[in-house]
A = this chain, B = another copy of it.
Amino acid sequence: MKRQITIKDIAIKLGLSTSTVSRALKDHPDISPKTRTAVKELAGLLGYRPNRIALNLRNNSTRTIGLIIPEIEHYFFSAIINGIEEIAYKNDYSVMVFQSDESYKREVINTQAVLTNRVDGVLVSFSKETNDFSHFQKLIDNEIPVVFFDRVIEDLPADQVVADDYHGAFLAVNHLIEKGCKRIAHFAAPQNLLIGKSRLSGYHDALLKHNIHFDHELVFLADTYETSKKAAHDILRKPNPPDGFFAVNDMSAIAIIKAAKELGKRIPEDIKVVGFENSKSAAICEPELTTVDQFGFELGREACLMLLKRLKDPTTTETFKPIKKVIKTKLVVRGST
């Protein structure tokens, strides 16, 4: 195994001490110009690179951010990673990615991995299964700043970055109503997720505004392609089916469109559908999907910026005031409505 060039190698070759070499490399005023240039020259020649691990140990910092995320494969999350990485990169941080695969158990292990890797801070969007948050509290107890994004929890001393879920949902449903829908179904995310609740309540309030009765029977727990397709099939076969659908994400909305078409319904003539996310797929499906743009890239950027701010100005647990940042959402109208 070839050894890396160390400061010691340079010191020995030049007959100096490691301290002098160290100082020379960082332009310490004590060092004479002659030795300074000599050191720098040799360092360049040998291809010296400071050993980050040694610095990590000394500074008790790794310039690394941990990212705990349900599933990379979702467009929304990969867009977020993109935003995170951009900011991290600009600030000379690296990103370690951990997937929970929507599993609480796996997520707990992720938090442990993040601890052993001694990351400087953590960005989290937790799993659908997660109802107990003590593993995140443990991170905070270890003085590791945590920023939640998209799927957030309010009663933990941690910052939050979310899309304006309520408003986005309101816009979506309002749009359906204005387009003439009388019976609007909502395919919702689990209600332990704040996004699930917020979007439901946006749906509810938009109905309210137009004096449409809120019917529990029209709200379904369906936030994946498979569950949504099945649910849509069931619902559309029943008497008096909905003429409008507001789905909690694009894949769910696309599944509804697929199911409707399979049953011979025309979109948007018979049924109108709105999604939430504005993924690549929304622009691909037929007809193209009206959806709420969640600006994942921006969300990732903001979350990372927030974390970096905490890393720069650490606060004690006592004086910590969580900040909540809301990213505007926007309705993108396309052929499905």
Task: Please provide the chain A residues from 42 to 71 with a CB less than 8 Å away from any CB of chain B in the complex.
Answer: 49-54, 56-57, 60, 62, 64, 71
Q: Which chain B residue shows the least CB distance to A73?
A: B78
A143 CB to closest chain B CB, in angstroms? 5
Q: How far is the CA of A258 from the CA of B284 in the complex (A)?
A: 8
By a CB distance below 8 angstroms, the chain B residues around A254 are 284
By a CB distance below 8 angstroms, the chain B residues around A181 are none
A27 is an interface residue with CB less than 8 A from chain B:
no
Q: Which chain B residue shows the least CB distance to A289?
A: B284
A320 CB to closest chain B CB, in angstroms? 13
- Within the complex, which residue of B52, B116, B118, B258 is in contact with A117, where a contact is CB–CB below 8 Å? B52
By a CB distance below 8 angstroms, the chain B residues around A4 are 142
| B52–A118 CB distance below 8 A | yes
A96 is an interface residue with CB less than 8 A from chain B:
yes
Q: How far is the CA of A29 from the CA of B303 in the complex (A)?
A: 49
A49 CB to closest chain B CB, in angstroms? 6
A146 CB to closest chain B CB, in angstroms? 15
Q: Which chain B residue shows the least CB distance to A138?
A: B47
A82 is an interface residue with CB less than 8 A from chain B:
yes
A79 is an interface residue with CB less than 8 A from chain B:
yes
| A75–B72 CB distance below 8 A | no
| B78–A72 CB distance below 8 A | yes
By a CB distance below 8 angstroms, the chain B residues around A57 are 51, 53-54, 56-57
Task: Please provide the chain A residues from 72 to 99 with a CB less than 8 Å away from any CB of chain B in the complex.
Answer: 72-73, 75, 78-79, 81-82, 85, 89, 94-99
Q: How far is the CA of A187 from the CA of B51 in the complex (A)?
A: 46
Q: How far is the CA of A115 from the CA of B97 in the complex (A)?
A: 18
Q: How far is the CA of A336 from the CA of B86 in the complex (A)?
A: 37
By a CB distance below 8 angstroms, the chain B residues around A322 are none
| A118–B2 CB distance below 8 A | no
Q: How far is the CA of A251 from the CA of B54 in the complex (A)?
A: 45
| B73–A79 CB distance below 8 A | yes
A314 is an interface residue with CB less than 8 A from chain B:
yes
- Within the complex, which residue of B50, B62, B97 is in contact with A53, where a contact is CB–CB below 8 Å? B62
A156-169 contact mask (Cβ, 8 Å, vs B): 1 or 0: 00000000000000
Q: How far is the CA of A60 from the CA of B57 in the complex (A)?
A: 12
A34 is an interface residue with CB less than 8 A from chain B:
no
Q: List 18 A-B contacts (CB under 8 A).
A: A2-B143, A49-B116, A51-B57, A51-B118, A52-B117, A53-B53, A72-B82, A72-B85, A73-B75, A73-B280, A78-B78, A85-B97, A94-B113, A94-B117, A254-B284, A280-B281, A285-B285, A285-B286
Given contacts A1-B314, A52-B116, A53-B56, 4 further A-B contacts (CB under 8 A): A54-B57, A94-B96, A97-B97, A284-B285
Identify the A interface with B (CB < 8 A).
Answer: 1-2, 4, 49-54, 56-57, 60, 62, 64, 71-73, 75, 78-79, 81-82, 85, 89, 94-99, 113, 115-118, 142-143, 251, 254, 258, 280-281, 284-286, 314
